[in-house]
Chain A
């Protein structure tokens, strides 16, 4: 992960496009700047003017109950859902209307909810799909992922549908890393996993952020675990941002925890 991949030049070319300073708490410039994003499924409005910023080298956790719009937010950022209003700016470049396929070229890797492995392909093939867009990729990059997750290394030639839930999560995170992203969008990585596995995966993500300057936008229903690893927390409710604050401050706010976070 030595150098960020994608069109960095345009990032410097359009400093003005980063828009008005958001209400975020960060002091560094935002790598990902979401401005007033709205989206609907038919008549149902799922996102209502959501603004947030994810900064380089930090983990931003988006929290909220089921149906708060967390998954829709990620899907709208990566172009799977077309927004009805608002902008998504990545490193100064407006990517609101960019096709889904282009996101990974711009340095954004989205790990969708529900593990997102391609069940019919083997573990190794899944990883190779993650690096397809980069052309030929050296074997050592795959070995690095296997070093990070020895458990999937043992199973590299097995079809992905034979993996356990935890192994699948490791596979999709590893696959996303092969895209050499600058920002990783993680959708409910803890869903259905044992606490020990969750801790292991979150620990690894934290380590990558600290050592490689990766930034992460983490969507989680499991607010307690998410806040324990995140730098900043954004609480969503019914498609709107309720509060944005330092993760530790949020974890300490008892009323907020009871009202929106369920712990």
Chain B
């Protein structure tokens, strides 16, 4: 990595070196899996097992914590869903997007509009599916343009998307509510849920709790799907498109369509995240979808480790908790206004983003994985040497 200090130095000396590239977490992930005898061999079975385990953990977590924590978990969930989609796009397929906040807006407004009807709205699952489909279509359009761009050009174009979309909500203010946005009628909890929670922990299973369950369910389902996709042949092809452009093209892989597909899948996740955001926050307004939202998502996946779903989840936890810590600190220690104090979180995000790129481009998960791999390799070497 020290070779990065001399840009005009040895050609290709550092850029091929795995730890120096941002996507090392994605590279290491496939190597890190497997080799654990107590887990089933089949990827699908293993993921199902993890899914069931996580579901149980989630119920314990939601029932063992207070309302305010339930709400935090809901917010972590929608960030994590969007970040999961983004980490697939950026980590696995090497396409950066600063427009995922705008894609979330598409999902959120779709959800808000479909809930805002006279009489009973459609079932929430249907609404979310529509939100996902609409966002996926928008993602496909963006993806077709994006497939031909790279690096800074793609970053600039998607940033323009992030800046442009909030303006549309003002232009179509009759339907989209303008600056004030749309107040979302959050769905009511069904009776079976209320009774079930009553029986489980004796608490009221309405409002925040119901929404938290929806958010966590969406998170688990989307991560299950994304994890299977990333480990499948499709995921491997995406990686090949990222790392071996020429070889992939020679192998008859159409780079463009694979890039578009990655964008569509990633946008679909952002659409679901937007839907969850709409019901959790109970408001969709342009102020919620400023470019800084897109940049926050990028922060989450880079700090967590590009290409890793677990990293995306960790980063999302940070996105929710850090502003609250910063606000508390500002309020109590620095005697600031709360809105102003929570801005300290952005200073920290930004610096963390820079520091991650400079010192540990593989992010949290990637760096730990690389360290483990290195240790394992060293142990294997010494064993081979000794025997």
Contact = CB atoms under 8 A, between A and B. Distances in A.
Interface of A: 41-42, 80-82
Interface in B1-59: 8-13, 16-17
A164 to B, nearest CB: 26
B12 A41 contact: yes
A80 B12 CA distance: 14
A41 B8 contact: no
13 contacts: A41-B10, A41-B11, A41-B12, A41-B13, A42-B10, A42-B13, A42-B16, A42-B17, A80-B8, A80-B9, A81-B9, A81-B10, A82-B9
A82 B8 CA distance: 12
A81 B6 CA distance: 10
Contacts of B16: 42
Interface of B: 8-13, 16-17
Contacts of B13: 41-42
Contacts of B11: 41
A122 B59 CA distance: 71
Contacts of A41: 10-13
What DSSP secondary structure best describes chain A's contact surface?
loop
A82 B16 CA distance: 19
A80 B17 CA distance: 20
Kindly list the 6 A-B residue pairs having the minimum CB-CB distance in the complex, ordered from nearest.
A41-B10, A41-B13, A42-B13, A81-B10, A80-B9, A81-B9
A73 to B, nearest CB: 14
Contacts of A81: 9-10
A80 B11 CA distance: 10
Contacts of B10: 41-42, 81
A170 to B, nearest CB: 25
A4 B366 CA distance: 55
Contacts of B9: 80-82
A82 B9 CA distance: 8
Nearest to A39: B10
B102 to A, nearest CB: 37
Interface centre among B9, B10, B16 (most CB of A within 10 A): B10
Nearest to A81: B10
A26 B311 CA distance: 64
Contacts of A42: 10, 13, 16-17
Nearest to A75: B10
Contacts of B17: 42
A81 B11 CA distance: 10
Nearest to A72: B10
A82 B13 CA distance: 12
A41 B16 CA distance: 11
A81 B9 CA distance: 6
Nearest to B16: A42
Nearest to B14: A42
A111 to B, nearest CB: 16
A85 to B, nearest CB: 16
B7 to A, nearest CB: 11
A113 B11 CA distance: 14
Contacts of A82: 9
A49 B298 CA distance: 47
Contacts of B12: 41
A229 B11 CA distance: 31
Given A41-B10, A42-B16, 4 more contacts: A41-B11, A41-B12, A42-B10, A80-B8
B305 to A, nearest CB: 24
A41 B10 CA distance: 7
A174 B10 CA distance: 26
B282 to A, nearest CB: 55
A81 B10 CA distance: 6
A75 to B, nearest CB: 8
B217 to A, nearest CB: 48
A116 B11 CA distance: 16
A71 B342 CA distance: 55
A173 B224 CA distance: 63
A42 B10 CA distance: 9
A42 B16 CA distance: 10
B16 to A, nearest CB: 8
B387 to A, nearest CB: 25
A214 to B, nearest CB: 26
A80 B7 CA distance: 10
A82 B11 CA distance: 12
A82 B10 CA distance: 9
A41 B3 CA distance: 10
Nearest to B2: A82
A80 B8 CA distance: 8
A77 to B, nearest CB: 15
B132 to A, nearest CB: 45
* B8, B9, B11, B17 pick with most chain A CB within 10 angstroms: B9
A249 B103 CA distance: 74
B191 to A, nearest CB: 66
A82 B3 CA distance: 10
B20 to A, nearest CB: 11
A41 B12 CA distance: 8
Nearest to B11: A41
A237 to B, nearest CB: 21
B272 to A, nearest CB: 43
A41 B14 CA distance: 9
A42 B19 CA distance: 14
A80 B9 CA distance: 6
A123 B364 CA distance: 51
A82 B14 CA distance: 14
A87 B350 CA distance: 44
A81 B8 CA distance: 9
A201 B111 CA distance: 74
A81 B12 CA distance: 12
A42 B12 CA distance: 9
A42 B8 CA distance: 15
